[in-house]
Amino acid sequence: MSEDIKKGLMGVTVDETSISKVMPEINSLTYRGYAAQDLCANCKFEEVAYLILNGELPNKKQLKEFEKQEKKERTISKALVEAIKKIPKKAHPMDVARTAVSIMGLEDKETRDNSPKANMRKVMRIFAKTPVALAAFYRTRKGKKIILPKKKLSFSENFFHMCFGKVPNKDIVKAFDVSLILYAEHSFNVSTFTARTITSSLSDIHGAITGAIASLKGPLHGGANEEVMHMMNKIKKPENAFKWINKALDNKNVVMGFGHRVYKSGDSRVPTMREYFGKVAKIKKDKKFEKIYDIVERVMIERKNIHPNVDYPTGPTYHLMGFDTDFFTPIFVISRITGWSAHIIEQHAANKLIRPLASYNGNKYRKVNKLNKR
């Protein structure tokens, strides 16, 4: 392999962004200059969504208007509802998310308009309707009646309401809000780069987000939180954790929820999510997964010096909240729509077609023989 080839674009800077950055001087992921953990401590998700999309934190008036717009757009079409009802119950919810956004693109009268104002209007529709579509599938696949959104509820409260028919206590809602804030944006990750690549051809925002969802589904990206829960379910109980993780490492198995391309000494989002994982476990009076978590983390650091990423505490937190495991990544989607959308708008503002080169290592020139001579 040639030395100038950067597999996976490792270390390659392909563009500029003002949306987010992992700032080494404070060892933290930042959105528009604000540390993600500070936003978790001081803001609700809607404030952070506004920040990512508009560049600044909202004042009370701006937040009220933003929330009003989001709540106004929550209703999904009858056609989309009927399509969701016809989806096989065993379909992965990520495929449902991808399909739902595609259908929204078919229905949206502004699909072809890539102007900043039209894109922002479309963002609000995608942002508001995607959780509703996913919650509808959550209900229909269980044979339950679809629950309509409530405008009086916050973004997070409404998602619980639509999935379970009730809103949990404020500490559970806060933990969910925190997870959405931590998942909202992370610079040029795989799905975001996918969205920007699609956008660079001057495709529409629905198509770009559909592609991003497909990218996020993979276990090496967003699907890792689901794999973490599958791992914990295999371990079953804390007494098995030490033996299980050591055997996995001895066999050179991949342990999901650990390591990150950007962070070398630990994902800055983990301490905050770990704290709220503990709070949810305490509320639910279930410490089993916390104990498994701590044992596996300790062995991974001691043996491999590999630290957990944010998917590691998020998976069991969503499980304790009552969500099905295959819905963990779709929850990631409803958060990351904000980051993807901001990048799509940014790409449009200073667009250059993304078209990298490849080093050819195939056959040398060959002549084509006629069929009877092959």
Just list the catalytic residues.
221, 260, 311
SS3 359: coil
Contacts of residue 84, defined as CB under 8 A and 6 or more positions apart, other chains included, come to 96, 100, 133, 136, 137, 140
Q: What is the DSSP string of 229-296?
A: HHHHHHH-SHHHHHHHHHHHHHTT---TTB--SS-SS--TTHHHHHHHHHHHHHHHT--HHHHHHHHH
Backbone φ and ψ of 7, nearest 5°: -55, 135
The Cβ of residue 139 has, within 10 Å, a number of other Cβ atoms equal to: 18
Contact between 106 and 317 under an 8 Å Cβ cutoff? The reply is no
Contacts of residue 348, defined as CB under 8 A and 6 or more positions apart, other chains included, come to 114, 116, 119, 199
SS3 78: helix
Contact between 136 and 145 under an 8 Å Cβ cutoff? The reply is no
SS3 369: coil
Token look-up 């090496």 returns 220
Range 165-174, long-range pairs (CB < 8 A, 24+ positions): 168/321, 169/283, 171/279, 171/280, 171/283, 172/280, 172/283, 172/321, 174/276
Nearest in space to 327 (alpha carbons), one of 99, 86, 130, 92: 92
Partnered with residue 258 across adjacent β-strands are 308
**Rounded Cα–Cα distance for residues 291 and 228 (Å):** 14
Tokens of 303: 């043996």
